[in-house]
Chain A
Amino acid sequence: MTQVQRSPTPRLSRQRRYRRLLFGSIGAGVLASLALRFLDYPVLGEAVYWLGIVAALVVWRGTDVALFDERDRSLERRASQLTMTVAAVVLVLGASAARLGATLGLFEVSPFLSGALYGYVGLFGLFALCYLWVRART
């Protein structure tokens, strides 16, 4: 069956425009910030970065159009669960390998790797706090 191409409806076209603005602000801010840092203007780069973040917040909170719907939230939830699963596997295997390697004198755990593993631990600590907070409110 041939689909008739129709012009986008008002709410959907506004939603699309604002979503582009939201992500565009962050992307432009980050890219401009990196470029300015590369050109040796670190403070200006940081200012532009924050400009992008604030612009995104203004778009997000300033419009009456819902930028994300229930399927977007469902996708985010599933992606978050997948992220946590991958992080858990990396932490369990990485921490065990790091401990074993250090104990057996096979290698020395670099401060970078150690920091990354503690970062994962912090992530799960934050997850536990968020989980408890959400559970208390549900």
Chain B
Amino acid sequence: MKNGLRTRREAADLSQGELAEAVGVTRQTINAIERERYDPSLELAFKLAAHFDCRVEDLFDPELDADLTA
């Protein structure tokens, strides 16, 4: 899933390890999400959004069909 995690993490001057520590996962999980190789659970998505004080949809773009988002 497309996401802006790397951009927000770097803007916050956080390493992958520090972000992983903050949200309770491994550094590899953060790396996999940033590389769009792993879609996080709802719980982790909400944790990440809360950490960056934004909405989940500001962080993740599921690229839904237009008729689904209408």
Within 45-72 of A, Cβ neighbours of B (below 8 Å) are at: 66, 69-72
Which listed residue, B21, B26, B27, B40, touches A72 by the CB 8 Å rule?
B26
How many residues belonging to B are interface residues under a CB distance threshold of 8 Å?
18
CA distance A37 to B43 in the complex (A): 48
Q: Is the CB of B10 within 8 A of A15?
A: no
Q: Is the CB of A71 within 8 A of B25?
A: yes
B interface SS class: helix
Residues of B within 8 A of A105 (CB): none
CA distance A3 to B18 in the complex (A): 13
Residues of A within 8 A of B15 (CB): 3-4, 6
Residues of B within 8 A of A72 (CB): 26
Q: A69: nearest residue on chain B (CB-CB)? A: B25
Q: Give per-residue flags for A64-82: 1 if the beta carbon is below 8 A from chain B beta carbons, else 0.
A: 0010011110100000000
Q: A4: nearest residue on chain B (CB-CB)? A: B15
Q: Given A3-B15, A4-B15, A71-B29: A10 and B40 within 8 A (CB)?
A: no
CA distance A72 to B32 in the complex (A): 11
What distance in Å separates the Cβ of B40 from its nearest Cβ neighbour in chain A? 7
Residues of B within 8 A of A4 (CB): 15
Q: Is the CB of A70 within 8 A of B27?
A: no
CA distance A126 to B29 in the complex (A): 31
**Given A12-B17, A72-B26, 15 other A-B residues pairs in contact with their CB atoms under 8 A:** A1-B10, A6-B17, A9-B17, A9-B18, A9-B21, A10-B21, A12-B26, A69-B29, A70-B29, A70-B41, A70-B44, A71-B28, A71-B29, A71-B38, A74-B38
Residues of A within 8 A of B (CB): 1, 3-4, 6, 8-12, 15, 66, 69-72, 74
